Amino acid sequence: MTIQKYTVQHLEQIIDVPMDKIEEALEVPPDRSLGDLAFPCFILAKKLKTSPVQIARTLAGRLKDSKSFERVEAVGPYLNLFLPKQQLTEEVITEILRKGKSYGDETVNKGTITIDLSSPNIAKPFSMGHLRSTVIGNSIANIASKKGYQPIRINHLGDWGTQFGKLMVAYNKWGDEAAVKKSPIKELNTLYVKYHEEVKGNPDLDDEGRQWFKKLEDGDEEARKLWTWFREESLKEFQKIYDLLDVQFDSMHGEAFYNDKMKPVVEELNERNLLKESEGAMVVDLSEFELPPALIQKKDGASLYATRDLAAAQYRKATYQFARSLYVVGHEQSLHFEQVKKVLLKMGYTWADDMEHIPFGMILQDGKKMSTRKGKTVLLEEVLNQTIQQAKKSIESKNPTLEKKEKIAEMVGVGAVIFNDLKQSRLNSVEFDIESMLRFEGETGPYVQYTYARACTLLAKGDWDVDKNSGTNDVEEPYLWEIIMTLEKFPGTVERALHEYEPSILSRFLIELSRYFNQYYGKVRILGGTEEEQMARLNIVKAVTIVLEEGLRLLGIKAPEKM
């Protein structure tokens, strides 16, 4: 039983308010000495036509002899409760030790949830922006899975569009096969940047680019060959990053996959009389929703972004029968997803209401959007290499005898980058700052990992054993109750992170738990004393490692037992 539930259950007998209302009102007092939990009596004031101060006093009087609370005090309008810490501590720890990793799991099946994430553009470097989508989406997938959904991770690759025509022009004019083979993304990106420089003085290039893309769409052999080659080389490079991040996808269907699936969509729109000609293009009018029209077809008949996403949405519904469908894409595309959803609703697909855009803020450089075309991109691979190097340096100076240094440096370096991203609220724009990722102190991934490693060392040295996990904790030890309260919040925190699609809620929780544990560690000698005492303390340590490891896993971060 959770601490909140315990309290609610015992309050319910004397307060005539529905249990969920009581639970909602309960709060942690600003100062520990005031109590463990408090019930503000304002919500009763109107109903009872009495001052909240008086109500608190009355309730305190009625609870005076209750065995459920150690002590009850009325302070102003607050009813302050002192809980039976001994009993609750035991209950919380026992539950976590019994459930292990599955602590906080939801067992009811909530159906399939598709998650559109990562989606880098072929032939372009994997940028920091795509990192955000990848780690946020992956974490939401992990969290959804813990809470009873079957996540389907879809990498909607940007592998189609006019830019490939442009790239082919550039490659044919200035490209070098050997150079591309050697370093595909870098070379192709250089070509792409060069193209955008050259086009300024030679606008005819754009026509050539469009022609090449048209050839590609028409199945021209040479164009097709180049496209396949660019795509394969790009995927190989991306795979290195996905391996480092340890992210796997259930589907790699990119935009090109929907090539033959767009025509039926356009036809369907036509049949339903939803298409309208406007300035030569075909659009769906959305003025009833106070939105600008959705562009479905260019005047030359070619498809557009929205067309592809309509086809993709239908395909996903048909293939996966999703209960929910998420799109982890930058917030600058909010309008687009709103339009797609509304078009589907106009088509009569009520399941479009289960689709949700999960936007996130941009990565800025000098306060501005990064531009691929100008070559102003920060490459994720380079960033990861730097942080891994930094981790290696730290290990050399702090723990030179550590085994498997390379492996652990990778866990720490990659963890630092992922955590640095996931601790931000999704929607905040962030200034790209390599320094903040290279710092392993304070509110960082390595801080949480370090806390975990320290705790693991204690378990090893103290010879913790499941079968010996008896012993009674001294609940008056500093920070122990804070640890218990925090551990107990874990299932609810994961739930909230899913409900808000906000991994940062979980990141901050892990920082809080780590801090309390480090404070406890600093004040209380864990190994030593009687065997009973040591085992009781190690049970706390074990519970902390379970929650830290599982929490990090949900964020997509590895937890090293030593570092």
Partner RNA sequence: GGCCCCGUAGCUCAGUGGAUAGAGCGUCGGUUUCCUAAACCGUGCGUCGCAGGUUCGAUUCCUGCCGGGGCCGCCA
The minimum distance between CB 359 and RNA, in angstroms, equals 7
One of 293, 482, 533, 553 touching RNA (CB under 7 A): 293
Span from 132-140, 197-205, 228-236, 449-457 in contact with RNA (CB under 7 A)? 449-457
Of these, 16, 30, 401, 530, which contacts RNA (CB under 7 A)? 30
Is 294 in contact with 324 (CB distance < 8 Å)? no
Q: Which long-range contacts (CB under 8 A, 24 or more apart) does 291-294 make?
A: 291/335, 291/338, 291/339, 291/342, 292/335, 292/339, 294/339, 294/340, 294/342, 294/343
Q: Would you say 188 or 362 has its CB closer to RNA? A: 362
Quick one: which segment of 99-107, 317-325, 356-364, 547-555 binds RNA (CB under 7 A)? 356-364
Q: Which of 279, 366, 403, 476 binds RNA (CB under 7 A)?
A: 279
Q: Pick one of 83, 505, 506, 546: the residue that binds RNA (CB under 7 A).
A: 505
Interaction of residue 161 with RNA, rule CB under 7 A: yes
Name the residue nearer to RNA (CB basis): 108 or 288.
Answer: 288
Q: Residue 328 pairs with which residues in a beta bridge?
A: 358
Span of 40-48, 179-187, 340-348, 487-495 interacting with RNA by CB under 7 A: 40-48
**Helices H / strands E in the chain, number of each:** 21, 13
- Rule CB under 7 A: is residue 195 a binding residue for RNA? no
Would you say 65 or 279 has its CB closer to RNA?
279
Beta carbon nearer to RNA, 148 or 361: 361
CB of 518 to RNA, least distance (A): 3
- Interior angle at CA 208, CA 310 and CA 263, nearest 5: 20
Is residue 398 near RNA by the rule CB under 7 A? yes
Report, in Å, the least distance between residue 427 CB and RNA: 4
Q: Should residue 304 be labelled a site residue for RNA when binding is judged by CB under 7 A?
A: yes
Which of 186, 331, 342, 376 forms a contact with RNA (CB under 7 A)? 331
The Cα diameter of the chain in Å comes to: 89
Helix (H, G, I), strand (E, B) or coil at 530: coil
Pick from 526, 535, 555, 557: which binds RNA (CB under 7 A)? Answer: 526
Which one of residues 255, 410, 549, 550 is an interface residue with RNA (CB under 7 A)?
A: 255
Q: Which long-range CB contacts under 8 A does 256-262 form with residues at least 24 apart?
A: 256/157, 256/159, 256/160, 256/231, 258/308, 258/311, 258/312, 258/315, 259/160, 259/217, 261/311, 261/312, 261/314, 261/315, 262/303, 262/307, 262/308, 262/310, 262/311
> In the complex with RNA, which residue's Cβ is closer, 141 or 294?
294
CA angle 32, 38, 40 (to 5 degrees): 135
Figure out which of the listed residues 137, 175, 184, 446 binds RNA, where binding follows CB under 7 A: 446
**Residue 386 within binding range of RNA, rule CB under 7 A:** no
Residue list 41-100, contact with RNA (CB under 7 A): 42-43, 45, 75-78, 80
417 in contact with RNA (CB under 7 A): no
CA atoms of 42 and 523, how far apart (whole Å): 38
Question: b vs e for 386-414, b when ≥16 Cβ sit within 10 Å of the residue's Cβ?
Answer: ebbebbbebbeeeeeeeeebeebbbbbbb
Task: Note whether 355 binds RNA by CB under 7 A.
Answer: no
165-184 residues in contact with RNA (CB under 7 A) are none
- Residue selected from 167, 191, 328, 511 as contacting RNA according to rule CB under 7 A: 511
Question: Measured from the CB of residue 111, what is the shortest distance to RNA in angstroms?
Answer: 28
* Residue 348 contacts RNA per CB under 7 A: no
Distances (CA, A) of 167 to 179, 197, 265, 371, 490: 15, 13, 28, 17, 49
Q: Quick one: three-class SS letters along 410-423? A: HHHHHHHHHHHHHC
Which residue shows structure tokens 């691979």? 381
Q: How far is the CB of 550 from RNA (least distance, A)?
A: 19
Q: Answer for the pair 23, 509: CB distance below 8 angstroms, yes or no.
A: no
Can you tell me the distance from the alpha carbon of 365 to that of 375, in angstroms, rounded to the nearest whole number?
13
Contact by Cβ (8 Å): 298, 281: yes
Contact 134, 381 (CB under 8 A): no
* Interface pattern 117-156 for RNA (x via CB under 7 A): ----x-----------------------------------
Is 252 an interacting residue with respect to RNA (CB under 7 A)?
no
Residue number, 469 or 518, with CB nearest to RNA: 518
CA nearest to 537, candidates 482, 472, 484: 472
CB nearer RNA, residue 307 or residue 325 = 307
Position among 6, 7, 35, 83 found at the interface with RNA (CB under 7 A): 35
